[in-house]
Amino acid sequence: MTEPPRILVLTHDDDPTADVVLNELNSRGTQFVRCDPGNFPAAMTMTARLGAPGLSWNGSLTGAPRGIDLGSVRAIYYRRPSDFRPPGGLATSDQDFVVSQARHGLPGVLAGLPRVRWLNHPAAMADARVKPYQLAVASRCGLQIPSTLVTNDPAAVGDFAGDVGGRIITKSLATMVTIDDESGSGVLYTSEVAEEHWSDPSIASTAHLFQELIDGIDVRLTVVGDRLFAAEIQPTCSDGPLDIRAHHENVTYRLIDVPTAVRTAVLDLLHRLGLTFAALDFRVGPNGWVFLEANPNGQWAFVPQLRTPIAQAIADMLETGSR
């Protein structure tokens, strides 16, 4: 008799990165159920019951291509689900109510399932995404970090720049997509701050993050459990933007080894952040590996040489958790 699926994959319908992992699971004959929580409640139905002390939620989630018995779930791959969408024709206040109930109901039941391995738990990801927090934890783990200033005081920026040698960058404290009437939408990239902008009065409007500029080569380090996969990313044009993401596909990749001390500190960082997966950015230069940031749900399939190994590592973790 075929065992019921024990792996639940939560992501939107068009997620090519998740597809790489799911193709690997399919090639192994491993059963899973993929669904987008954003389809709840309009196109999905959940029924879950919790009764006597010591018991856990039991019930079902249906409406995806395949349903799943909640009591059978042992591993959840939380990729990139879309936002909850209320049924049409509701007043705004009713839409807000429906979405808030859905946001607490479905994820709340899943979070209460016992013996489930998450990759990653959304609560852990929410904490880990906070850049000032992750920088502090990374420093306590022994990783080198850039000198960093978080402030809304324009006068503090010039003093900071002088302390770190005169070249500083700024980056958003949260991942941002900008929308412009002329150029459309785009990512808010890390950029160097020219001296004439150090005392810009608009700095006082909210918190800003400034760091010393770190020279070196960009490295993307992807961690799955205790397995590390690192690649240098070199732009084909050295005179291009500071942020390697702004070079888009005009880059080359080279696989590299991770120093033992960095590996130990990185695994400690993920443990403290409660993560089983993360994509970390480093700058590697004369002073060694300098940690820039960690994305608990970062992309990784863009490095051709690592696409299959990382997919296999994630599949291994999901399969191990599902047993």
DSSP string, 68-114: EEGGG--EEEE--PPPP-PPTT--HHHHHHHHHHHHHHHHHHHHT-T
Strands 75-78 and 7-10: parallel
**CATH number for the domain including 87?**
3.40.50
Cα distance between residue 95 and residue 211, in whole Å: 41
Residues 281 and 317 in one domain: no
Arithmetic mean of pLDDT, 226-247: 84
Residues 32 and 86 in one domain: yes
- Residue 146, preceding peptide bond in cis (omega within 30° of 0): no
Beta bridge partners of 217: 284
In tens, the pLDDT along 5-15 reads 899 999 999 99
Residues 108 and 23 in one domain: yes
Confidence label for 28 from pLDDT (cuts 50, 70 and 90): very high
Domain count, the chain: 3
Say if 301 falls within a structural domain: no
Beta bridge partners of 179: 185
At 3 the pLDDT is 65
In tens, the pLDDT along 163-187 reads 999 999 999 998 755 444 454 445 6
At 5 the pLDDT is 85
Query: Encoding tokens for residue 58?
Result: 């039991």
Task: Count Cα neighbours of 108 within 13 Å in the Cβ-side half-sphere.
Answer: 10
In tens, the pLDDT along 38-67 reads 999 888 999 999 987 778 899 999 986 678
Residues 42 and 156 in one domain: no
Residues 159 and 66 in one domain: no
Say if 161 falls within a structural domain: yes
Residues 11 and 84 in one domain: yes
At 177 the pLDDT is 53
At 236 the pLDDT is 82
Say if 303 falls within a structural domain: no
CB atoms near residue 148 (< 10 Å): 17
Q: Which residues form the domain of 254?
A: 124-145+214-296
Residues 167 and 256 in one domain: no
3-state percent breakdown (helix, strand, coil) of the chain, nearest 5: 35, 30, 35
**CATH number for the domain including 291?**
3.30.470.20
- What is the reported pTM? 0.91
